Amino acid sequence: MSGFTLTYRIQNEHIHEKVGVVLVEDKIRESCLRWFVHIKWWPSNDPVRRIEFQRCGERPESKLADEENYKCLAGILICCPEIVHSSPRVSILTSQICWWRRGDPDRPLRHIKMKSKDGKPGSNPDKISRAGPMCLMFVVLCGFSFYLGGIFSSEKNGFLYSDSIPATVNHKDNALVHLQIEPISFPDCGIDYQDYTPCTDPKRWRRYGNYRLNFMERHCPPISERKECLVPPPAGYKVPIRWPQSKNECWYRNVPYDWINNQKSNQHWLRKDGEKFLFPGGGTMFPNGVSKYVDLMENLIPEMKDGTIRTAIDTGCGVASWGGDLLDRGILTLSLAPRDNHEAQVQFALERGIPAILGIISTQRLPFPSNSFDMAHCSRCLIPWTEFDGLYLLEIHRILRPGGFWVLSGPPVNYENRWRGWNTTVEEQKADFDGLKKLLTSMCFKLYNMKDDIAVWKKSTDDSCYNNLTPSSYPPKCDDSRDPDSAWYIPLRPCITITNPDLKKLNLKTSPKWPERLNVATDRVSLVSGGNNIFKHDQSKWKVRMKHYQNLLPALGSDKVRNVMDMNTLFGGFAAALIKSPLWVMNVVSSYGTNSLGVIYDRGLIGTYHDWCEPFSTYPRTYDLLHLDGLFTAESHRCEMKYVLLEMDRILRPSGYVIIRESDYFIDAISTIARGMKWRCETKDTEYGVEKEKLLICQKKLWYSKISQE
């Protein structure tokens, strides 16, 4: 992947405009360039560098071909040298016509015979005479398309920056026609859809198999079954209690489910008290309170106290009391649980203001890159770790950083004292524990510490253990056929993921501690083209932007906003700029975009992969603020705007806010759809008043279904 810069040479002045990131297989189609120059379906390893217009008589800088007679205006696509000889398609616009190189990559580019130095025409002068006007018209169209590409592209995606002197362009004669759509009004979906989760809908479970609980994974409805309506809140819904009080209580009517209260009242997960649910901090393995449980963990894992451990994942999270307690200790935990009919674990967690996401370890990888979390936790999460040849543990191994910790409490740990209450035999539990230890040892985990009901294993910090594995070992080392960071609808693999040896600072022992790691460009930054420079620019850019955002929306950074999502981030700069505010941010990286999610985890932040052509893995009404930066510019060629905005409405809390940073081409259309969703929106200038880009600040109205009111 690479960026490219559009250069106009007008009266010897250079005007550089950022045109955007080219993930050549997908991203180049995002800009208006595709309408004219038809640059499509390049191999993903074709890093387009830049498109440059040359004035007549200037020697082109390109070395794509031995052209001796470039005399006139030419648009030149400059590629990496290795791409010139390997790409199946190289586009080069000569002074006469745009030729495409197809077929055999070793076949030389076709030359156009031009006039010789003495003015005598070459062969076939009739074709040349006809080609002249065609060339002129084509060049004009290309030039205009380049201008449009600069207008429509997002500033977020500009990866190459010019140091040339800017010039003033008169836009009065080049006014753009904004995207316009007909006004639309969406009906409410009905009270039965108040907790609708499209991709994990229990009403559709019977369509899928029971094998390894596959039916509880993501299965999104086809476009013909997508709902074009607004998900209503429950009857009696109130604006959520503000943080930090929300960690201990929430409104009963906001999550009106009594199953946990009725079935696990002796474990003190939660307790109904009038119009509220109270969260005393209990759990299956910590009936005496989560704080005492975590105190014991800290004694077993000193790295929890000094900033070494910053990110954690809780599989089978309950009501997320463990993650909530760790927030007070500087550890950011992502709680994970599947959608269910009764417990609503993730819904309770998010209502409390604790990070959580719907998910299950079943047949597919979790939507996180390899080497992400510093610690993983299972407190009687009922995951059969030793079944299916340890496939679920191999996924934990993949997402844990080298030197990371896996914590297990519950069966079979402490089976000597607990087996009678587990409806089993001591022999069976001993066999399970021995099998678990053997399996973890084969994956290069070491038993780090154990006391009472808690056992801690540590993942190997280097490759020495993996190098000792033989071809006959199980599990084997993974081959290179699948990127270990690929995690969007990717099947689980029965093999050990080995860390890239070039990424030496992923190890917990050598990584910067929190909070220093927030501002450090780690090894994985180098995997992004121009990484270090882009990282520094991203940091400084978001400091300026955030001041402007908070001036426009004073609620940002106050206790009115707790759960925040950055819908298409790069390095988590938006979240980093808000690190001192009483909120947390779910950083979403496009499954079709730059793979930068690993950098976000390296910084001590959390996030997930996602494709916004599909609904997100969360309950309705779970986020106070949604932020997007150039999302429609990046994804409008794949995702229909209407469905993206309806999904935003589903996951946004009533009275919640939206900050949309977009090309002004899309702003009017977004505003039209937003009004149909009962949002109130205002268009604002960006911090630098850029004409081609605007901010749309919206707030969702609190409304109730007519049926629920009746």
**Are 413 and 290 contained in the same domain?**
yes
**Are 692 and 560 contained in the same domain?**
yes
Residue at 198 is within a domain:
yes
**Are 624 and 500 contained in the same domain?**
no
pLDDT band at 578 (very low <50, low <70, confident <90, very high): very high
Number of neighbouring beta carbons within 10 Å of residue 116: 10
Torsion of CA 161, 164, 168, 172, to 10 degrees: -40
Lowest mean pLDDT among 97-101, 496-500, 681-685: 97-101
Beta-strand pair 606-610/454-459 = unpaired
Residue at 47 is within a domain:
yes
- Higher pLDDT, residue 666 or 706: 666
**Are 555 and 633 contained in the same domain?**
yes
pLDDT score of 580:
97
> Is pLDDT of 118 > 60?
no
> Is pLDDT of 51 > 50?
no
Q: Residue 496 CA to chain centroid, in angstroms?
A: 24
pLDDT digits (tens, 9 = 90+) for 305-344: 999 999 999 999 889 999 999 999 999 999 999 998 767 8
Q: Per-residue pLDDT averaged across 299-307, rounded?
A: 97
Per the CB < 8 A criterion, the answer to whether 612 and 568 are in contact is yes
pLDDT score of 133:
63
Q: Per-residue pLDDT averaged across 201-220, rounded?
A: 94
Residue at 243 is within a domain:
no
Please tell me the distance from the alpha carbon of residue 527 to that of residue 48, in angstroms, as a whole number.
17
pLDDT score of 167:
30
Quickly list DSSP for 39-98.
Answer: -----TT----EEEEE-TTPPP---SS--S---S-EEEEE--HHHHHH-S-EEEE-SS-E
Please tell me the distance from the alpha carbon of residue 128 to that of residue 424, in angstroms, as a whole number.
89
pLDDT score of 27:
38
Please tell me the distance from the alpha carbon of residue 405 to that of residue 302, in angstroms, as a whole number.
11
**Are 599 and 638 contained in the same domain?**
yes
**Are 467 and 594 contained in the same domain?**
no
Number of structural domains (the chain) is 3
- Higher pLDDT, residue 630 or 1: 630
Residue at 258 is within a domain:
no
Write the CA distances from 613 to 336, 364, 593, integer angstroms: 22, 19, 13
Q: Per-residue pLDDT averaged across 593-603, rounded?
A: 96
- Higher pLDDT, residue 209 or 78: 209
DSSP letter, residue 474: S
Domain harbouring 630, CATH code: 3.40.50.150
pLDDT band at 480 (very low <50, low <70, confident <90, very high): confident
pLDDT score of 176:
56
pLDDT score of 637:
92
Please tell me the distance from the alpha carbon of residue 568 to that of residue 627, in angstroms, as a whole number.
8
Boundary of a domain, candidates 464, 485, 506: 506
Boundary of a domain, candidates 477, 506, 535: 506
pLDDT score of 623:
99
Mean pLDDT of the chain: 80
Q: At what angle do helices 664-676 and 641-651 cross, to 10 degrees?
A: 50
- Higher pLDDT, residue 580 or 136: 580
> Is pLDDT of 647 > 80?
yes
pLDDT band at 486 (very low <50, low <70, confident <90, very high): very high
Residue at 250 is within a domain:
no
**Are 463 and 548 contained in the same domain?**
no
Lowest mean pLDDT among 136-150, 154-168, 625-639: 154-168
**Are 111 and 153 contained in the same domain?**
yes
> Is pLDDT of 577 > 90?
yes
pLDDT score of 33:
32
Please tell me the distance from the alpha carbon of residue 393 to that of residue 407, in angstroms, as a whole number.
12
**Are 588 and 476 contained in the same domain?**
no
Helices (H), 482-630: 531-552, 573-577, 597-602
Segment (H or E) for 701: none
Token output for 110: 């076709």
**Are 500 and 532 contained in the same domain?**
no
pLDDT digits (tens, 9 = 90+) for 417-447: 989 888 889 999 999 999 999 999 999 999 9
> Is pLDDT of 529 > 90?
no
Q: Per-residue pLDDT averaged across 566-591, rounded?
A: 98
**Are 331 and 360 contained in the same domain?**
yes
Per the CB < 8 A criterion, the answer to whether 611 and 589 are in contact is no
Nearest Cα to Cα of residue 116 among 125, 126, 103, 107: 125
pLDDT score of 139:
64
Helices (H), 173-320: 259-263, 290-300
Residue at 520 is within a domain:
yes
Boundary of a domain, candidates 135, 169, 203: 169
Q: State which residues form the domain around 433.
A: 284-506
pLDDT score of 260:
75
> Is pLDDT of 563 > 50?
yes
Lowest mean pLDDT among 112-116, 495-499, 689-693: 112-116
What is the reported pTM?
Answer: 0.77
**Are 153 and 29 contained in the same domain?**
yes
Of the CA atoms within 13 Å of residue 446, those in its CB half-sphere come to: 8
Residue at 125 is within a domain:
yes
pLDDT band at 105 (very low <50, low <70, confident <90, very high): very low
pLDDT score of 130:
52
Quickly list DSSP for 184-221.
Answer: --PPB--GGGTT--GGG-GGGGGGS--GGGGGGS--PP
pLDDT digits (tens, 9 = 90+) for 130-149: 556 666 676 666 666 655 55
pLDDT digits (tens, 9 = 90+) for 181-205: 899 999 999 999 999 999 999 999 9
Residue at 239 is within a domain:
no
Judging by beta carbons within 10 Å of its beta carbon (0-12, 13-18, 19+), is residue 209 exposed, middle or buried?
exposed
pLDDT score of 39:
32
3-state helix, strand and coil shares in percent for the chain, rounded to the nearest 5: 35, 20, 45
